[in-house]
Amino acid sequence: MKNIIITPAQIKKELFIWLLCLIAGTGLNIYAIIYYETMWSELYTQAGYVIALSFVIYLILWVFRGLFRLIRYLTKKF
């Protein structure tokens, strides 16, 4: 059985991608605050929802990245 090795560079890359997802979620929250003209205190009171949204965005990106790698692998094989 093969050992799976996750390098520090891979961990940093994934954390950076999740950080970008968190920034996108925060941007969506700021957009909603401006669009619905609510109080700016929602920026930190809704932090739990923003973090959950960032994980959802990350998972969606993870699926698309996996599909892209699969397509790339299949095209190189043939």
Residue-range domain boundaries for the chain: 12-77
Taking CA 72 as the corner, what is the angle to CA 68 and CA 7, rounded to the nearest 5 degrees? 75
What pLDDT, on the 0 to 100 scale, is given for residue 42?
Answer: 95
Among 7-11, 49-53, 67-71, 73-77, whose mean pLDDT is lowest? Answer: 73-77
Q: What is the rounded CA–CA span in Å between residue 27 and residue 50?
A: 9
pTM of structure: 0.86
- pLDDT for 77 equals 77
- 17-70 pLDDT, tens per residue? 999 999 999 999 999 999 999 999 999 999 999 999 999 999 999 999 999 999
User: In the structure, what pLDDT confidence band is assigned to residue 2 with cuts at 50, 70 and 90?
Assistant: confident
Q: What pLDDT shows up at residue 39?
A: 96
CA atoms within 13 A on the CB side of 9: 0
